[in-house]
Structure 1
């Protein structure tokens, strides 16, 4: 059952990416959360996330922590990048909010509940999965912030020092 839920979670993430792209998440992210994101960043990041979802689903039966971490990533994304900004801005729509509420929350929670119900994971594993999911969610944001620092710029003038 965990593998089925993990595959559904990956499919939900694909639908989420479609919603974000179609409803212009890039400009929302720039205006509302001040994220210096380009469409190329969006495409690469979400390609990696979908690949992680496929890996998590394939590993769900033998390494359930992967599915739990992916579910935690979805829940962190839903709450901190869609629901809270929606609430903080007095109801300004966040592209991705529909799938975050209707897919990420129920599927992410279902993965966690199934792992606990089946004895696959206890509280400590769930907490670690959320730490992993939070780190995975933070990683591209940190990279976006770092890429404009002089040390990380790769233009020929700056590389020469």
Structure 2
């Protein structure tokens, strides 16, 4: 018995929830500041990850109606695992990136399973694949861009 597309979407939410717990437990904020130079605070971490959980519920609920949503979520997991965990660990010669365990053990298999299930159910076209990768990249870039922009004078709200 194979796992269906909708089930993979729900597994994506579960994987991301466990990933957030790992990042928090092993102090992803300080790692991100030291290794990739993100000016991130814990409040940023909480708000961004709360949004990811809401997106996770939404994409799983919309799997049949809007199959691009779980595919974008799967792409987000692949991009996060690769560019914020696996590659930084390689470039820092093994310095642990909080979230790497769940990224490797959960994100890669669940994301690939989501794409495979979509293909098996006839939902994955070239356009859906490319659209999901672009959507996942935009979702990953959005909070990073906000972190970078908020320090600019135009965006400061202080009197």
| TM-score (norm: length of structure 1) | 0.96
Matched with 2:131 is 128
Instruction: State the distance in 2 between where 1:87 and 1:111 align.
Output: 26
C-alpha offsets along residues 4-34 of structure 1, whole Å, 9 cap, x if unaligned? 1101110110000000000000000000000
Matched with 2:22 is 19
1:124 CA displacement: 2.0
- What residue ranges of structure 2 are gaps of 5+ in the alignment? none
C-alpha offsets along residues 95-125 of structure 1, whole Å, 9 cap, x if unaligned? 0000000000000011011111111111221
1:40 matched to 2:62? The reply is no
Instruction: State the distance in 1 between where 2:34 and 2:115 align.
Output: 33
Matched with 2:8 is 5
Matched with 2:33 is 30
- What residue ranges of structure 1 are gaps of 5+ in the alignment? 157-161
**Residue correspondences, number:** 156
Aligned mate of 1:61, from 58, 61, 64: 64
| TM-score (norm: length of structure 2) | 0.97
Matched with 2:52 is 49
CA-based RMSD: 0.6
